[in-house]
Amino acid sequence: MYKKVTKQDVLALQKLIDEKRVFVYDESISEYSKDELGTLIGKPEVIVKVVATEEVSKVAKYAYDNNIPLTVRGSGTGLVGACVPLYGGIVLDTTLMNKIIGIDEENQILEVEAGALLMEIAEYTKERGYFYAPDPGEKSATIGGNIITNAGGMRAVKHGVTRDWVRALEVVLMDGTVLEFGKKVVKDTSGYSLKNLIIGSEGTLAIVTKAYLKVTAAPEKTLSLLVPYDSLEKAIEKVPAILNSGTNPTAVEFFTREALEYSETFLGKKFPDQNSPAYILLMFDGSETEVDANAKKISEILINELEAVDVLIVDTDERNDDVWSARSSFLEAIKASTTLMDECDVVVPRSEVGNYIKYTYELEKKYGLRLPSFGHAGDGNLHIYICKDDLSDKEWKEKLELVFEDLYNKAKEVGGLVSGEHGIGYAKMQYLKESVGEVQIDLMRRIKAAFDPKNLLNPGKVV
Ligand SMILES: Cc1cc2nc3c(=O)[nH]c(=O)nc-3n(C[C@H](O)[C@H](O)[C@H](O)COP(=O)(O)OP(=O)(O)OC[C@H]3O[C@@H](n4cnc5c(N)ncnc54)[C@H](O)[C@@H]3O)c2cc1C
């Protein structure tokens, strides 16, 4: 159905851009055949490392004219197989297209190329007194990858997700056409929002080459509070009251002692508090007066009304690092604790978080599997890991399918969705279909066909 890449194609691509940045795939660069999930493999035929929009346009047009599939790859940190080239063809690597062009201070807009890394953007804005709020866990991801997966992260409770911070995008369509969706403006009701269609489209509609991101003045102060509880149920039950307290937290995370133990083993250091089975971790940011007042108010409420065991102020750099590095390591720590794992990234109404977590405990018993979890209590996005441990491949495959069915059915039953931030990619396609139904899938497919009529851009993903 697609044209195989030939020697002539490789030569033509080398001529179009630069021969040193066009590679034929072989096993020495096997990272191009998978992402961080690691279980889905698809080998590209050729890899092209682009440095400019014009190159992206030329490569896309070549692929379009020759009926060759093309899959964009950022840093490959995705967890649903989205950047894996299922039909071979070209992998377009954006990581050399990584310039941070600058801040338009009058319009508070940061202009960046798609391959710039999240950690570089954080450093660049901080040095200049600015703040780009989205803060997904993996800082080595590209901004293009963040935009195209609408990445979330812990600060979503107060500041929203990546979508809320994108003013405009420069994109390349599959036939090589270069377009700008959105402008450097704050409001926009100018027709259908193509910019918002691209955000979260997982590389299936267009290639992002440049982004114009909203930035604000950096918050004067950031402060975290670690709140031990004597049970996870009780901790999660109190989250709506925390959110209704008028203290405007930036992040509201929950985790258990079990998750901390994985992290302690993985990081080789003890968590600052050893006494409780469950914790809520709160973060506040803003002016010093505002942060101090909110932290004081919520501490009183937590102790006097919300049955917290204690409120520990995370007020030194060292303690802050200990607490947040433990929280940030959970995914990798759980991965290191087992032979293989898969994950479920559902999002449920905030009122259902407690019930949903209880349900995962029932599933652990039902299937005799380990399902460690943690999550963003403040936005209802849960990360549940299904661990293979010493199951045979056959048992694992069978059980995984049944556990996923149960987890996604439960999410649907309580009014949730298949993915809160990691996306659909290849791994969750079946569950998206079951969750939203045929009519919505058909609408999505027609949108895909409008952007990519030959189905060349990241085929076999999302819908
Ligand atoms: C330890 C860890 C923690 C994580 N924490 C979070 C978290 O808190 N929140 C969260 O949302 N995610 C998280 N992730 C998932 C992952 O980091 C994000 O999905 C990230 O946005 C992927 O960016 P990337 O550059 O690695 O993209 P890749 O994995 O390379 O690609 C992801 C998708 O984007 C497409 N793509 C990439 N660049 C472009 C482009 N320029 N134009 C068009 N399509 C493109 C690819 O084709 C693919 O479909 C985490 C992952 C890990 C390993």
Domain positions in the chain: 7-96, 100-217, 221-330, 338-439
In short, whether 337's Cβ falls inside 6 Å of ligand 1 is no
CATH code linked to domain 7-96: 3.30.43.10
Confidence (pLDDT) at 39: 86
Q: How far is the centre of ligand 1, averaged over its atoms, from the C-alpha of 321 (Å)?
A: 24
Query: Pick from 229, 109, 129, 209: which is nearest to 169 by CA?
Result: 209
pTM: predicted TM-score of the whole model, two decimal places:
0.96
DSSP helix/strand/coil, 154: coil
Residue 186 identity (one-letter amino acid)? V
| Residues paired with 313 in a beta bridge | 225
CATH value of 100-217 in 1.20.58.2050, 3.30.70.2860, 3.30.465.10, 3.40.50.150 = 3.30.465.10
373 neighbors 385 (Cβ within 8 angstroms): yes
- What's the token pair of residue 53? 């929009």
Ligand 1 site, residue 149, Cβ cutoff 6 A? yes
| Binding site membership of 137 for ligand 1 (Cβ less than 6 Å) | yes
- Strands 70-73, 90-93: pairing is parallel
- Do 176 and 61 touch, CB atoms closer than 8 A? yes
Mutation probe of ligand 1 site: the residue of 50, 75, 77 with most atoms within 8 A of C-beta? 77
Instruction: State the pLDDT at residue 37.
Output: 83
Which of 31, 72, 150 should be mutated for ligand 1, with most atoms under 8 A from CB?
72
| 221-330 shares its CATH topology with 338-439 | yes
CATH of span 338-439: 3.30.70.2740
Residue 38 has a pLDDT of: 87
pLDDT in tens, 300-329: 999 999 999 999 999 899 999 999 999 999
CA angle 237, 238, 241 (to 5 degrees): 125
Instruction: Quote the pLDDT of residue 94.
Output: 98
Residue ranges of the chain with per-residue pLDDT less than 70? none
Q: Is the CB of 36 under 6 A from ligand 1?
A: yes
Amino acid in the structure at residue 338: T
DSSP code of residue 164:
G
Beta carbon of 75 within 6 Å of any ligand 1 atom? yes
CATH class in words for 221-330 = alpha beta
Name the burial class of residue 4, with classes exposed (0-12), middle (13-18) and buried (19+) by CB atoms within 10 angstroms of its CB: exposed
114 lines ligand 1 (CB under 6 A): yes
